[in-house]
C-alpha cells in the first residue's frame, strides 16, 4: 500500500509540474528550467522509461511555448505593418517610404546597418535605394552583382542569416563589413520574381531571430509594392500631362501650371501663344505624316529655349503656349529671335523641296492683360490674331 501511495504521490507531483508549466506557456522564453529538471531527476532515480516519456512531454511543451511566444511577438509587431501601410496610402514619395521603413524596422530590431536594394530580372546590378551604416546615410548607388550576400540572396532566393562573427564570411556585406557581426539578408519576392533585398545588421552576436526574418519580409514586400504603385502612378500622371507626338507638356498641364503660378507668384507672368503660319498647306500638299514632322520641329525649337523660367506646351493642333516667368519685353523679343533662327536652320527637306517653318506669336502679361487663365489666354489669342492680320511671321504684344 505504501508503494502505491508513493507512486501516486510521484505522479501527482509530475502532473503538478506539468500544470505549472502549461500556465507559463507564452509568458516566458524558457519554461523548462534547471530546477524543473533537477526535481524530475529526484523523482525518477533509475526509472528511465518513465523519465523519457515525461521529458518528451516537457520538450513538446517547450516547443509549444516557443511557437506561442513567436506568435505573440509577431502579433505585437503587426501594428508596425499597419502603421507602415498607413504611410504607404498617404504618400507616393519613394524617399519617404524608404525612410519610414527604416524607422519602423529600427523600433523592433537593432539596425546598426540597414539597406534596401532593388533588382530587375536580367540586370547585372542591384540598385541600393536606401543605405545607412552606423548613423551615416549613403546616396543611392548601383552595385554590380558579384561576390556579396546581396547577389547570393538574389540568385538563391533564400534568406541568409549570419548569427555571429565566428561564422565564415565568404562574401562582402556591402556596408558594415568590418564591424557588424549579426547579418540578415532577406529576398523580396513578388509574383515569383525577386524584386530586391532588405538587410539589417548589428554589432552584437545573435541579434536576430526567426521572427525578425519574417518581419523584414513583410515590410520589404510592402515597400516594393508601394514603390511600384508610386512609379506606375508617376508614369500614368506623366502620360496624362505630356503630348505624345511632341514630348512637350499638353493643354492639361498648361492650365494646371499657369493656374498654380498665378496663385503663388507676385511677379509678372508672360504668356506667348505661338501658331504655325502654314501647317494646313503642308498637310494638304504633302500629307499628315509630313505635317507631324513639321509639328515636331516646332516643338523641338521650343524645347531649345526651355529652362527653369520658361516652359513650353503643345496646346492643340499647331498652337503652342510658352509661359515665361520674370521677363521683360526685350527678353521676349530675344526668345522670338532665337526661335526664328532655329527654324531657319532646321527647315524640312522633302526630295528636292525645302519646307520653311514660319510662326506668328501673340503675347499677354499677367496680371496686366488678364487675371485668370482664360482671360490671359484670350488676350494672347487676340494679339496672335493681330499678328496674322498684319501678314504673319511676326510677334505682337497685347
Please report the pLDDT score of residue 18 as a whole number: 66
Question: Hey, what's the cell of 233?
Answer: 502612378
DSSP three-state, residue 146 = coil
| In a shared domain, residues 262 and 314 | yes
Nearest Cα neighbor of 137 from 115, 109, 104 is 115
Q: What is the CATH number of the domain that holds 144?
A: 3.30.450.40
Please report the pLDDT score of residue 241 as a whole number: 95
Interatomic CA distance for residues 119 and 375, integer angstroms = 50
Inter-residue contact 217 to 186 (CB < 8 Å): yes
Q: How far is CA 387 from CA 111, 272, 298, in A?
A: 67, 12, 18
DSSP three-state, residue 181 = coil
245 in a domain, yes or no?
Answer: no
| In a shared domain, residues 40 and 121 | no
| In a shared domain, residues 204 and 266 | no
DSSP three-state, residue 194 = strand
Of 46, 76, 106, the residue at which a domain comes to its end is 76
Among the residues of 242-362, which ranges form H helices? 251-264, 279-286, 288-305, 329-345
Please report the pLDDT score of residue 2 as a whole number: 47
Question: Hey, what's the cell of 232?
Answer: 506606375
Torsion of CA 279, 282, 284, 288, to 10 degrees: -80
Interatomic CA distance for residues 131 and 182, integer angstroms = 17
DSSP 108: H
Residues 6+ apart with CB under 8 A from 162: 169, 181, 182, 183, 184
293 in a domain, yes or no?
Answer: yes
108 in a domain, yes or no?
Answer: yes
Q: What is the CATH number of the domain that holds 321?
A: 3.30.70.270
82 in a domain, yes or no?
Answer: no
| In a shared domain, residues 149 and 220 | yes
| In a shared domain, residues 65 and 105 | no
| In a shared domain, residues 57 and 189 | no
88 in a domain, yes or no?
Answer: no
| In a shared domain, residues 196 and 255 | no
Interatomic CA distance for residues 17 and 58, integer angstroms = 10
Of 207, 238, 269, the residue at which a domain comes to its end is 238
Domain limits for position 23: 2-76
Domain count, the chain: 3
Long-range contacts of the stretch 252-255 (C-beta < 8 A, 24+): 253/313, 254/313, 254/315, 254/321, 254/323, 255/373
Interatomic CA distance for residues 159 and 208, integer angstroms = 13
DSSP conformation letters of 325-358: ES--HHHHHHHHHHHHHHHHHSPEEETTEEE---
Please report the pLDDT score of residue 34 as a whole number: 67
89 in a domain, yes or no?
Answer: no
| In a shared domain, residues 211 and 255 | no
| In a shared domain, residues 32 and 72 | yes
| In a shared domain, residues 55 and 147 | no
pLDDT by residue for the chain (398 residues), tens only, comes to 444 454 456 556 666 666 666 666 655 556 566 666 666 666 555 455 455 656 666 676 666 666 666 666 556 666 666 777 777 667 778 898 899 889 888 888 899 999 999 999 999 999 999 999 988 999 999 999 998 899 999 999 999 998 887 766 655 666 654 577 889 999 999 999 999 999 999 988 888 988 889 889 988 998 898 888 888 888 888 899 999 999 999 999 999 999 999 999 888 999 999 999 988 888 888 888 899 999 999 999 999 999 999 999 999 999 999 999 988 999 999 999 999 999 999 998 877 788 889 999 999 999 999 999 999 999 999 999 999 999 999 999 99
> How many residues are listed for the chain in this entry?
398
Residues 6+ apart with CB under 8 A from 222: 81, 84, 85, 88, 101
| In a shared domain, residues 279 and 302 | yes
Amino acid at each position: 500500500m505504501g508503494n502505491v501511495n508513493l507512486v501516486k504521490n510521484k505522479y501527482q507531483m509530475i502532473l503538478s509540474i506539468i500544470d505549472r508549466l502549461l500556465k507559463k506557456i507564452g509568458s516566458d522564453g524558457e519554461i523548462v528550467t534547471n530546477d524543473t529538471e533537477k526535481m524530475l531527476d529526484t523523482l525518477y532515480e533509475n526509472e528511465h522509461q518513465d523519465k523519457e516519456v515525461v521529458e518528451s512531454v516537457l520538450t513538446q511543451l517547450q516547443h509549444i511555448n516557443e511557437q506561442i511566444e513567436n506568435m505573440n511577438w509577431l502579433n505585437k509587431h503587426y501594428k508596425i505593418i499597419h502603421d507602415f501601410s498607413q504611410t504607404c496610402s498617404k504618400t507616393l514619395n519613394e524617399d519617404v517610404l524608404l525612410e519610414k521603413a527604416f524607422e519602423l524596422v529600427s523600433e523592433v530590431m537593432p539596425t546598426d546597418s540597414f539597406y534596401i536594394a532593388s533588382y530587375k530580372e536580367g540586370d547585372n546590378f542591384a540598385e541600393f535605394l536606401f543605405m545607412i551604416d552606423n548613423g551615416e546615410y549613403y546616396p543611392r548607388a548601383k552595385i554590380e552583382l558579384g561576390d556579396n550576400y546581396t547577389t547570393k540572396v538574389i540568385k538563391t532566393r533564400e534568406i541568409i542569416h549570419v548569427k555571429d562573427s565566428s561564422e565564415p564570411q565568404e562574401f562582402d556585406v556591402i556596408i558594415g563589413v568590418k564591424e557588424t557581426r549579426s547579418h540578415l539578408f532577406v529576398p523580396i519576392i513578388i509574383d515569383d520574381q525577386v524584386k530586391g533585398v532588405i538587410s539589417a545588421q548589428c554589432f552584437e552576436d545573435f541579434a536576430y531571430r526567426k521572427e525578425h526574418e519574417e518581419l523584414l519580409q513583410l515590410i520589404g514586400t510592402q515597400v516594393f509594392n508601394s514603390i511600384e504603385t508610386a512609379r506606375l502612378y508617376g508614369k500614368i500622371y506623366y502620360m496624362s500631362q505630356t503630348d505624345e507626338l511632341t514630348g512637350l507638356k499638353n493643354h492639361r498641364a498648361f492650365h494646371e501650371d499657369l493656374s498654380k503660378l498665378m496663385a503663388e507668384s507676385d511677379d509678372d507672368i508672360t504668356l506667348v501663344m505661338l501658331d504655325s503660319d502654314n501647317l494646313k498647306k503642308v498637310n494638304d500638299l504633302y500629307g499628315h505624316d509630313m505635317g507631324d514632322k513639321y509639328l515636331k520641329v516646332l516643338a523641338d525649337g521650343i524645347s531649345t529655349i526651355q529652362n527653369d523660367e520658361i516652359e513650353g506646351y503643345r496646346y492643340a493642333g499647331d498652337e503652342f503656349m510658352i509661359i515665361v516667368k520674370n521677363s521683360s519685353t526685350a527678353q521676349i523679343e530675344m526668345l522670338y529671335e532665337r526661335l526664328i533662327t532655329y527654324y531657319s536652320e532646321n527647315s524640312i527637306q522633302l526630295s528636292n523641296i525645302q519646307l520653311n517653318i514660319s510662326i506668328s506669336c501673340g503675347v499677354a502679361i499677367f496680371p496686366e492683360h488678364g487675371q485668370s487663365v482664360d482671360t490671359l489666354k484670350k488676350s494672347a489669342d487676340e494679339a496672335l490674331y493681330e499678328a496674322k492680320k498684319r501678314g504673319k511671321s511676326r510677334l505682337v504684344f497685347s
